[in-house]
Structure 1
Amino acid sequence: MNAAALSILTLLTSPLLNASSIASHPDSSSLIVYNGNIGLVHEKRGLSLDSGKQSLIYPDVASSIQTDSVNVIFPDGVSLYSQQYRFDKITAQKLAEAHLGKEVKFYIETGSGLIYKSGSLLSADSQAVVKTAQSEIYTVPVSALIFSYIPSELITKPSLIWNIDTPKINRGILSLDYLVNNISWKSDYTLKLSQKSVDLSGWITIDNRSGKAFKETRVNVLAGDIDRVQEPKKRLYMAKAAVAEMDAPAVQEVSHEGYHLYQIPFPVTLPNNQQTQIKFVDIKNIPVKRKYKAKFSNPFYLQGEAKHTISQYLEIESLDRPLPMGTVRSYSKEKETTLLLGESAIAHTPKHEKIAITLGKNFDLHATEKTLSSNSDRYYMDKTVYYELGNRSKESKTVELLVPFIKNDKGQSSVATKQQYRWENANLLSFQVSVKADSKQSFEVHYRAKKQ
């Protein structure tokens, strides 16, 4: 490293002086975390530059930095020629190499104990060679060397090094943007169910494994899938999570270019290799409907008889805000006992869209389908199917039964039944069947379709 770079490195931990230096901490910083396991870091730092060509070290960037994404803006008049990423992880070998030609201490093992000496380090390969003031030359293991300091040429924090030129003394603000990997966020929701409504709360969980701790930083998270050149890496998770202020100002949601940005209105500290949670949704008394659904077989693939369980879920007709994808955990109370009713994944959901939250399989409902007759010939498939729905609960239930069957308006297919139905997407029949408490309800359907 040249003398100019060493001079800059010495000044990194000092206040801004007349010589070239950069502030040790950002004047301002922000972070945007994306769904795709990346983050966009923005920082501004004070800068004081002497005139001439020099190397400038910008310390404490994330070790997962994407160096080809760096966008740095210097004050007017500063020319940038090249950039290097450096991070010297401290090892005994690197410390020895950095002490070549310098005074070091070392020890020699004898039968009576350790003898300590000092001298100039001449070589630092697998064995270190040291010359004492008495011109004695010793060969000792590198592990026998004793170091009293870390040489300034070792950059012990992930750093960017810029080779720049400025025609005159220049003071101003440096602006830096870069992408980092291994940082991600997700949303988790808690739904508390009462008889006719629910309370919904949501948490943003940021998982920071980027190799950098963000202190008192303005943090935003962006919901939406941006295009990337490479596939993102799998996310890693910590077992514990730090929780941000519970009663802080509300997180603001902003729609931008087809995405949704959630702005956290207070500075956030994100330690490296930890998770941090921030509350961003809190809605009370949302009207909700209980729904029940079963999916049946394509009638022409049904062989004999098949039994099916009934899924139960909650349906929210509309919310006045979008919800990013995440996991919804639904709870209710039986007297003083809290019960987990189920977990459900929701996709990115725009505002005013229906939200279906699956709970699980209903214990008291069951469905059966059975072939009554099959009269297929060379040209047509022809089958009659019997459906039965049982309800062993203490309340009447309405269950939606879904049957895959392609609609054809040219007389090539037909459905005949006394049970009311409707089409969904021209390839799915929906039967709404009401069943009284502790009873059964059945119906038959005749299907006919021309063979392809």
Structure 2
Amino acid sequence: MNAPMITLGVCMCAAACGIAETAASATSTAKDQKKVAITVYNAGFGVVRDERTITLPKGTVDLRFMEVASKVQPETVQIDAATAGDKLAVLEQNYEYDLMSPAKLMEKYVGKTITIIQRNDFKDARIPREATLLSFNNNQPIYSIDGKIAIYRGQEEVELPAMPENLVSEPTLVWLLDNAFEGAQTIIANYMTQGMRWNADYVAVLTPDEKTLNLNGWVTINNQSGATFNNAQLKLVAGDVQRVASEEYDTFGGERVYAMAAAPSRKAFTEEGLFEYHLYTLDRPTTLKQNQQKQISLLEARDVRTEKTYRCIGQNWWYRNKQGELIRNIKIAVFIAFTNSQENALGIPLPKGTVRVYKADSSGNNQFIGEDNIDHTPKNERIELKLGDAFDITSERRQMSFTRLADNMFEMSWEVKVRNHKDEDITVEMIEPLGGDWKITESSVPFIKKDAGTAQFNLPVKKDGEAVLTYTVRVKW
């Protein structure tokens, strides 16, 4: 008794495995590669410079330039005849990305004759049957066999007589060239590709007195371009480069790996200005594998002077109407700040990224205490990081009076209490976001007008003590 077709059809074979090549054709692979340079932008793309040595026949040549990034943007491809000069001309350029797969092979043979292999498990025999593939939708084949319709579940083994045209095993750039140069020549392909991204990750370790920190910067590079680049010269561009919006975009899957410096790192990049951006060049070749995340040291700075600030930030809506209840448990945010200057052990352009801050506990183990993002920061600019909210500092406020002076004018008095349960004196910045036209008529602590809508009170609070801020403000909306 013959058993039904049970062999998985992934092993479809073809009697002929290629499209007939003409005499004037050539293929180049990564084996021809002499140099490759990669420039990665933190906006999520890269620029590839692929230099190869190729020997081409004279005359019209169809060059298949293989093993390029599968996410190449073909409209950005440029070819440079470095050796041949004007003896090599590009007549036509194509990008072939109709990749070979079992489903694609079957789709190409709809309406054509193929061979289905039946197996007899008892006799260990393979029984071929000729069939016409009528349809292949949703990976479900329908055949005509001996004038009857046969429906299979896609588990049969299928043999195809030849490889269909216009299918490729990998994305390929194809150039039609007019070559008048004899012998080996250098051809350089430049192109942009999606699927490449880099960002900066910083590790800061506060000293026990919290007056200085040690900062290590790491570059995290993610390659999902569809190609591996061996021994590549690596450059990184930091800055907000303008690009025309496209319907296509890339997502970066997988888990990110964050740096935590366990040992001193050595600066590996040289920085220079590039137009209105900054360019970082790695001082050695490196390999970027497909689906790989790589981290390389960017900077190391020790004894960076820092300041810690406690800040209580109010709400604009508090000044719009009468507040009848006590407002409790107002969080006191904790910030640290430092200046990116040469005098402060830095003074270099810092690419945007995430700064993760640690501090050693009593046993000497570094513990994570907060993180914040920074934008691209030039030298001599101040960087401020919010690390979280203080546990041992509490605040509450009460509206003591509210008077309507006119339809659009109000006067109100506030009392704000801050309690400090720490074993040291502190100063809390009380930030009051006032709206409309405002005037503080009296206050228990001097205020600073930060801008048109903000008043700041610097409130000293003794250790294990309480401080009270009172003020009256007149607001016209």
Name the CA shift for 1:166/1:367 in 2 (closer, same or farther; >3 Å).
same
State yes or no: 1:376 paired with 2:383: no
> Residue 351 of structure 1 aligns to a residue in which SS?
coil
The secondary structure found in structure 2 opposite 1:272 is: coil
- Give the superposition deviation at 1:362: 0.4
Q: Which one of the candidate residues 65, 73, 76 is aligned to 1:66?
A: 73
Count of residue pairs brought into register by the alignment: 424
Taking the TM superposition and a 5 Å limit, the aligned residue runs for 1:36-185 are: 36-74=43-81, 75=84, 76-87=86-97, 89-92=99-102, 107-110=117-120, 112-116=122-126, 144-145=157-158, 155-167=168-180, 169=182, 171-185=184-198
Contact 2:436 2:475 in 1 (8 A): no
Cα distance in 2 for partners of 1:369, 1:173 equals 75
Q: 1:397 to 1:273 in 2, by over 3 A?
A: same
Q: Tell me the amino acid that sits aligned with residue 345 of structure 1.
A: N
Structure 1: tracts of 5 or more residues without a match: 14-22, 130-139
Structure 2 spans left out of the alignment, 5+ residues: 1-18, 135-140, 145-151, 342-346
Distance 1:361 1:5, change over 3 A: farther
Q: Which residue of 2 aligns with 1:208?
A: 223
Equivalent of 1:188 in 190, 197, 201:
201
Aligned to 1:334: 361
Give the structure 2 partner of residue 439 of structure 1.
Answer: 465
User: Residues 94-122 of structure 1: CA distance to partner in whole angstroms, max 9, x if unpaired?
Assistant: 668999xxxx9985424743435899x99
Q: How many angstroms apart in 1 are the aligned matches of 2:127 and 2:44?
A: 52
Contact 2:268 2:296 in 1 (8 A): no
Q: Deviations over 1:380-430 (max 9, x none)?
A: 21111112211111100011110012585xxx7444223111111222111
Q: 1:353 corresponds to which residue?
A: 381
Cα distance in 1 between the residues matched to 2:327 and 2:258: 49
Query: What does 1:6-25 align with in structure 2 at a 5 Å threshold?
Result: 7-9=25-27, 12=28, 24-25=31-32
What are the superposed Cα offsets for residues 355-395 of structure 1, whole Å, 9 maximum, x if unpaired? 11211110111222211111112252111111221111110
> How much identity, in percent, do the aligned residues show?
25
Deviating more after overlay: 297-306 vs 63-72: 297-306
Instruction: Tell me the residue number matched to 1:257.
Output: 275
TM-score calculated relative to the size of structure 1: 0.83
- Give the direction of change, closer, same or farther, for the CA distance of 1:234–1:178 in structure 2 (3 Å limit): closer
Q: In 1, distance between residues paired with 2:169 and 2:143?
A: 23
Matched with 1:312 is 334
- Alignment-mate amino acid for residue 21 of structure 2: A
TM-score normalised to the size of structure 2? 0.79
* Cα shift at 1:226: 1.0
CA deviation digits over 1:33-87, x for unaligned, max 9?
A: 1122111111111122222212100001111111111111233222212222124
Alpha-carbon deviation of 1:147?
8.7
The aligned residue for residue 449 of structure 1 is: 475
User: Do the aligned residues in 2 keep the contact of 1:5 with 1:56 (CA within 8 Å)?
Assistant: no
| Matched position secondary structure for 2:26 | helix
Structure 1 match to 2:15: none
Q: Equivalents in 2 of 1:45, 1:256: separation in Å?
A: 27
Q: 1:413 to 1:95 in 2, by over 3 A?
A: closer
Q: Is the 1:205–1:277 Cα contact (8 Å) retained in structure 2?
A: yes
Aligned-residue offset at 1:339 = 1.6
